[in-house]
Structure 1
């Protein structure tokens, strides 16, 4: 006989073998013992929790002539026929492929006939929520006035899609997710019966990956057995499930809690290089941080795992609960976003930076200080606050005097001591003077920006975009993570302007001279030129571009008419601000397949 999957071989044949649903199985057994069964049942709950198995066991138990305490004997002719799916009086229907009115009418017509072998005729309708509205209406009449000796068992994973009129005529049982410990115990029993060697940690990894489904747990166990040549080891379980070791999780969490961004990014890169699933990694992190948080208040709840070692206890006790709250919220947000992205590595890198910058709130810091814990976190927080105060004071002292101009909302910064030199300066040379517009950051140096814009061409921008990914690949891990939220928006032979999606990353890049030098050196290797790299925030780029085109309108028009001027600029030489319609089309069909035409 060909090999059968574990979940088929070890499918429950008695109510006592159903894992994690003791309340439901006891209720059904008592109903059979006291002969107080209903004419219709609704079994609902997540996949792989025993709904269809319970329906078949119920069909056997209620028809078994030798049933004891509500359990079928599994040896009589009727029990064996139901187990093999060969009893005509027990009809199992898949509503996903038989969801029309005609199929339900056929059931209604045949239900009138008495059973041929069994005491009760049982209809098991799986995934009943797939029935059409007309089919539900046809079924409703039968449930209102059921024939004698006929029982309907409806199973579904989505009870909210079933009409209330149907639910009100059934006894509803909600099957719950199977917890990891119960799944672990069942797998231990099965492997002992099969006489297969295993590591307990491997089974715990599988139980957590199954997410409450016993069938999923046995399917993953089947894969692990095949991969490990009939042996279940932790290494094989991690490879099959895409999970990471608890040691790596512990190191990563400690690194981000200690604000070691560079080391945390290096650990993340190792996870990605090993081919681990991004979603599974985030789920494992949520589970681990949850254990750290619970261990502070209820250590007994952190059971069935080897995480409670000395390093785990130290990290849990030395970290503020507020940090764990913020980490879990951040991880939940990223977990939801990962479902809709094709670049999970970018989200994980940004996640690492965010987690490494989480500090306890002042109220929480004060509370932990009063109890004698969290003093290290408070010291770090106070140092950060002092540093920010010093930066604010230096910025306030160095801020230029801004004098309003009546003609425009933007003002030009002109130091009084250099008025004569300004008067002697040619008109064309005054264009690069830095503006202090209300929407323009003080970190944006327009005097360096405008020369690049004056010489920018569409050809140079396209050429820069072609080498951009190659440029990012030459950067170290931390710099690459920072630049992945940036893109070139204008370019000329003399330089390139790079826009950042987030103000925080823009500020990081502006203050990082090493990053700028690395970009310029690597661009020189890739293009043979030595362009200057300048940064702008994405939300300020449209304003900067508009001001430049307005201030240099006459100059640009003259250059456009001069065929001998190689640096002639048009509006198409500078990247237009993102259009949400274009962005969505590029996401759907790919940027290379989209052509933008201005009508």
Structure 2
């Protein structure tokens, strides 16, 4: 066969070669050594992160003649046969082109047959999210309880499209984007073993352009090698990836800060004439100023820079440009980037953004003389404010002293109990009627709850009947506000009368009185009335012993018997 691409030649053959996925490889290796290999796996993650390669390595490791091992030996007949695809027991299926029900039914029919050459039959289904709903349904039962000699490995870049019933039957491993430094390390190893001369900065540029995919990075490296010939330089990497060089970005950043509109537009024209993509260019500018902001706030994190190297020119420019200015530049470039997505003329948006940034700096920057004048005026205002505060302390204290009595006034209208109605009930009140109401009071509260009046029933917490006649009763409330809310609610009053008629057989109207007013109303009634009937609930007693007992325990706890 002719020339093979780097990503094919250097495809991982062991878990050790799978870069940046230690959380996956370590778990699989432990499962192999403990002989706890699951019947189904789901590998999900971005493209080029090693999902299919890890599946192939796992299929070799479980079938290796030296098993149990944490790495395939790649020397036995099983490992070599799986590597060159000569063993039919390891089947790779592209679900993008075999996504129908018939293909899955064929797998379901053949899965029960034992493997021919190795211990386990392994099905590797790539891009499994492309299967139809019917195909997923056909796979479901087989995936849940396959024969002991079968292992399913599903790989996908879009796990959200897979039914949850499929995911729940698999051990899921999420492959993450590979860090640029890990990609550079792998490319350095490949370059040293193949004898390719590659500049270190060029590899960093390629690694960042790959966006976390090792396959993309090796493809770009392969392209840069073909473009550059004997050695891969920074310019070769910039040309292949479409990125803008660090020097051009520094020149443009300096022109923007110096408010040189003509020079900044000239640099933009030069870059676009070199075939640079406007979208990639503005992304490079955002990352350049991001690196500058990172350098100003955390210089020790230079390894996290995306587009720059901390050379003397960059450091000098970073020291001059203030952080607030960098925030504004990033924000403006980000807005321009969003607008460029919906236009056919992105170059115009770039030019307008550069002109706006330069012009904005001219209008907002103030001469040093004006800055000093503003600082002096601020200082004078602060001094005047302090003097006003010192003078205002005594006045404020006097105002508070004068206003304090006014603040003690009670606002709002207090509830006034209906004295006439309560007095009428007391004239006709009997002990028997009061005992009847008290004895059925629990039923009254229960009826209120059953009639969806629980919120109103809460008003009766602490309330109790204190007097009753054949047609009405007096209800004493513990709090004034509860009494007012209850008596002002006509629905509540009517409901109480209806419940009383249902329970006692008589319609009893309710008269509410707060506890703070009940004692005074009762004493005034006793002072006026002279009732000698033994059936009366309340009566005036002139006995000094009774009066002394009333003072000690109160009327509520005092019961007088003839």
Query: TM-score by structure 1 length?
Result: 0.59
Q: Which of 40-49 and 347-356 deviates more?
A: 347-356
CA contact (8 A) 1:144 1:169 kept: yes
CA contact (8 A) 1:49 1:212 kept: yes
Question: What's the offset of the Cα at 1:44?
Answer: 0.8
Q: Matched residues in 2 for 1:378 and 1:258: separation?
A: 14
CA contact (8 A) 1:290 1:328 kept: yes
Closer, same or farther: CA 261–119 of 1 in aligned 2, 3 Å: same
The residue correspondences of 1:140-155 to structure 2 (distance < 5 A) are 140-155=140-155
- Structure 2 residue runs of 5 or longer lacking an equivalent are 375-562
CA contact (8 A) 2:259 2:361 kept: no
CA contact (8 A) 2:35 2:68 kept: no
Q: Who is 2:289 aligned against? A: 289
Closer, same or farther: CA 158–382 of 1 in aligned 2, 3 Å: farther
Closer, same or farther: CA 64–381 of 1 in aligned 2, 3 Å: farther
Q: Who is 1:330 aligned against? A: 332
CA contact (8 A) 2:296 2:318 kept: yes
- Are positions 1:57 and 2:31 aligned together? no
Closer, same or farther: CA 129–52 of 1 in aligned 2, 3 Å: same
Q: Matched residues in 2 for 1:256 and 1:112: separation?
A: 69
The residue correspondences of 1:102-251 to structure 2 (distance < 5 A) are 102-251=102-251
Q: Matched residues in 2 for 1:292 and 1:344: separation?
A: 25
Q: Matched residues in 1 for 2:369 and 2:115: separation?
A: 76
- Alignment: residue pair count: 371
2:303 alignment partner, SS class: coil
Q: Who is 2:258 aligned against? A: 258
2:152 alignment partner, SS class: strand
Question: What's the offset of the Cα at 1:359?
Answer: 5.9
1:249-306, Cα deviation, whole Å (9 max, x unpaired): 1111222233322221111111011111222212222221111111122212222776
Question: What's the offset of the Cα at 1:382?
Answer: 6.5
Q: Who is 2:345 aligned against? A: 343
1:293-350, Cα deviation, whole Å (9 max, x unpaired): 1112221222277621222223323333333333333333433444443322112212
CA contact (8 A) 1:359 1:381 kept: no
CA contact (8 A) 1:43 1:174 kept: yes
CA contact (8 A) 2:143 2:169 kept: yes
**Runs of 4+ deviating beyond 4 Å:** 357-360, 377-383
Q: Matched residues in 1 for 2:43 and 2:31: separation?
A: 15
Q: Who is 1:40 aligned against? A: 40
Closer, same or farther: CA 122–336 of 1 in aligned 2, 3 Å: farther
Q: Matched residues in 2 for 1:381 and 1:212: separation?
A: 51
Closer, same or farther: CA 198–62 of 1 in aligned 2, 3 Å: same
Closer, same or farther: CA 336–101 of 1 in aligned 2, 3 Å: farther
Asked which structure has the greater CA Rg, the reply is 2
1:97 alignment partner, SS class: coil
Q: Who is 2:323 aligned against? A: 321
Q: Matched residues in 2 for 1:354 and 1:161: separation?
A: 44
1:348-371, Cα deviation, whole Å (9 max, x unpaired): 2123234435669x9xxxxxxxxx
Question: What's the offset of the Cα at 1:111?
Answer: 1.1
Q: Matched residues in 2 for 1:207 and 1:108: separation?
A: 42
Q: Matched residues in 1 for 2:367 and 2:134: separation?
A: 68
Q: Matched residues in 2 for 1:46 and 1:331: separation?
A: 27
Q: Matched residues in 1 for 2:301 and 2:331: separation?
A: 21
Query: TM-score by structure 2 length?
Result: 0.62
1:49-95, Cα deviation, whole Å (9 max, x unpaired): 11110110011111112257510001111111111122111110000
The residue correspondences of 1:162-561 to structure 2 (distance < 5 A) are 162-303=162-303, 307-356=309-358, 379=367
- Structure 1 residue runs of 5 or longer lacking an equivalent are 363-376, 387-599
Q: Matched residues in 2 for 1:103 and 1:324: separation?
A: 57
1:112 alignment partner, SS class: coil
Closer, same or farther: CA 91–340 of 1 in aligned 2, 3 Å: farther
Q: Matched residues in 2 for 1:379 and 1:187: separation?
A: 52
Question: What's the offset of the Cα at 1:379?
Answer: 4.8
Question: What's the offset of the Cα at 1:380?
Answer: 7.8
